[in-house]
């Protein structure tokens, strides 16, 4: 049901009967996070940089949130955490800040499958005269460490490699790759865009991230608020601030503190560590949907099936249909998935990521991304399977591209099995 808001647009007033499986685009706020944010959204509106009592309370709440972020990342010193408006800003700050902090070095290394918020700054650095190397991935979406080793140069300033890909969910062994970089030259800085993995996987400093100098994260990918994120900046890393203004964040990021957003991020981090054990259940649901597709929908290709992946993500391409058509078809049934990255949807061209992992041509236009969360239930996964089978079959019947796809989906009501019912806390 929809109701008219005070403005001319329509807002949904209920999620009833809809099935949300686009959590890599954004995820619903956890009720506990919302409660925390509400407490800092009404009477407690004060500027956290001011000197009077209520403002000092807000500053303390920010300090607490910084500790919560640090705890999730396994950081001993929360001072390394700088609050930002999200991962786009964090990525921009990491790349431009590293470049400004090391003016004599003019080479950046990254991968061909990064998010646009890394590729955009890379392109801008190229316009400014920097050399940028884009490392390819193989058909499993994997990076060859030898390619990285060969591409490093005496003037390499920064290596930026994402932790988990937003479209395919494929994980890069960032810790191992960072070690390769530091063995080559300890002064080369390492950044990882961990936006899709923080809160979904245990990713911790003091373990695999020891050689990482910058890490980007964003609250809304793990049940925190939009417009709130953080950048980890290693104290010893030469870096210049990107967002100049007031003295907030000790001069590392100007701008009045977004207190509700920051406390929301902190609470989302705390909850993420409490719910770490739900990842197994999420990946079980994902695997069962994948198995259903393999068994019941002919002409389907799972991207990254042989690679380590995020537990919640399934990227699948269907021969003979358009991914966008499938998303619309499912949307009519109130099942919400995406064609890949929300940042590139709207374009009918397959994304740079799917091109880079070499999805075969007959499949690539029919690509969709399904991404679950800790709130996804087995019942929902079952409903998704049925809706997918029905929709793919319908589109193939309608589509002139259907030629060559053998067989029709075997559509039966299905039950997705899990150890327990999905967590709905
Ligand atoms: N990096 C990755 C891998 C992402 O998936 C996203 C969000 N789509 C971003 C960066 C940008 O995050 P934000 O929305 O917080 O700016």
**What is the percent of the chain where pLDDT is above 90?**
80
pLDDT category, 253, cuts 50, 70, 90? Answer: very high
Binned at pLDDT 50, 70 and 90, residue 12 comes out as low
| CATH, residue 21 | 3.90.1150.10
pLDDT tier, 349 (very low <50, low <70, confident <90, very high otherwise): confident
Query: Tokens 């981090």 appear where?
Result: 269
Residue nearest to atom 7 of ligand 1 (CA): 25
Contact 168 CB / ligand 1 (< 6 Å): no
Q: Other CB atoms closer than 10 Å to residue 256's CB: what's the count? A: 11
- Mean pLDDT for 141-147 is 93
Strand ranges across the sheet with 367-371: 300-303, 313-318, 367-371
* 296 found inside a domain: yes
Which two structure tokens, joined as six digits, stand for 303? Answer: 């991207």
pLDDT of residue 408: 46
343 is known as an active-site residue? yes
H/E stretch holding 80 reads none
| 251 inside domain | yes
Pocket of ligand 1 contains residue 86 by CB under 6 Å: yes
Which of 235, 250, 274 finishes a domain? 274
For 152, the domain range is 40-274
334 CA distance to ligand 1 middle (Å): 25
Examine residue 369 and state whether it is found in any structural domain, yes or no.
yes
Backbone angles phi, psi at 204, to 5 degrees: -140, 140
Q: Over pLDDT 70: what percentage of the chain?
A: 88
Counted domains in the chain: 2
**Which whole number is the average pLDDT over 308-333?**
96
Question: Which tokens in the block code for residue 234?
Answer: 């290693």
Cβ proximity of 395 and 300 under 8 Å: no
Q: Is the pLDDT of residue 291 over 80?
A: yes
> Which of 221, 340, 341 to mutate to test ligand 1, by most ligand atoms within 8 A of the CB atom?
221
Look at residue 200 and tell me whether its pLDDT is greater than 80.
yes
Report yes or no on 11 lying in a domain: yes
């Amino acid at each position: 049901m929809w109701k008219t808001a005070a403005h001319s647009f329509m807002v949904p007033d209920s999620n009833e009967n809809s099935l949300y499986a686009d959590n890599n685009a954004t995820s619903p706020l956890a009720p506990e996070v919302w409660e925390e944010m509400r407490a800092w959204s009404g009477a407690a509106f004060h500027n956290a940089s001011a000197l009077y009592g209520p403002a000092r309370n807000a500053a303390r709440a920010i300090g607490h949130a910084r500790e919560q972020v640090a705890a999730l990342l396994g950081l001993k010193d929360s001072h390394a955490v700088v609050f930002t408006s999200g991962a786009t800003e964090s990525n921009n700050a990491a790349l431009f800040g590293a470049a400004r902090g090391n003016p004599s070095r003019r080479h950046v290394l990254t991968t061909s499958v990064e998010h646009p918020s890394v590729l955009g700054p890379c392109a801008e650095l190229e316009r400014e005269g920097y050399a940028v190397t884009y490392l390819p991935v193989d058909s499993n979406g994997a990076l060859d460490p030898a390619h990285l080793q060969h591409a490093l140069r005496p003037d390499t300033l920064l290596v930026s490699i994402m932790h988990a890909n937003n479209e395919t969910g494929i994980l890069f062994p960032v810790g191992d790759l960072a070690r390769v970089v530091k063995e080559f030259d300890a002064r080369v800085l390492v950044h990882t865009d961990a936006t899709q993995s923080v809160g979904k996987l245990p990713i911790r400093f003091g373990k695999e991230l020891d050689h990482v100098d910058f890490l980007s994260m964003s609250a809304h990918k793990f049940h925190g608020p939009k417009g709130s994120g953080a950048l980890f900046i290693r104290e010893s890393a030469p870096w210049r601030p990107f967002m100049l203004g007031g003295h907030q964040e000790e001069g590392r990021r100007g701008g009045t503190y977004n207190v509700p957003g920051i406390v929301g991020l902190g609470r989302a981090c705390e909850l993420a560590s409490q719910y770490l054990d739900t990842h197994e259940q999420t990946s079980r649901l994902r695997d069962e949907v994948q198995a259903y597709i393999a068994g019941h929908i002919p002409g389907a290709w799972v991207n990254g099936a042989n690679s380590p992946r995020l537990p919640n993500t399934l990227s699948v391409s269907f021969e003979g249909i358009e991914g966008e058509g499938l998303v619309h078809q499912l949307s009519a049934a109130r099942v919400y998935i995406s064609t890949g990255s929300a940042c590139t949807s709207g374009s009918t061209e397959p994304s740079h990521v799917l091109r880079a992992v070499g999805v075969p041509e007959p499949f690539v236009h029919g690509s969709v991304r399904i991404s679950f969360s800790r709130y996804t239930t087995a019942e929902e996964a079952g409903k998704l399977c049925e809706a997918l089978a029905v929709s793919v079959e319908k589109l193939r019947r309608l589509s002139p591209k259907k030629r060559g796809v053998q067989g029709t989906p075997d559509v039966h009501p299905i039950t997705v099995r899990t150890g327990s019912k999905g967590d709905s806390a």
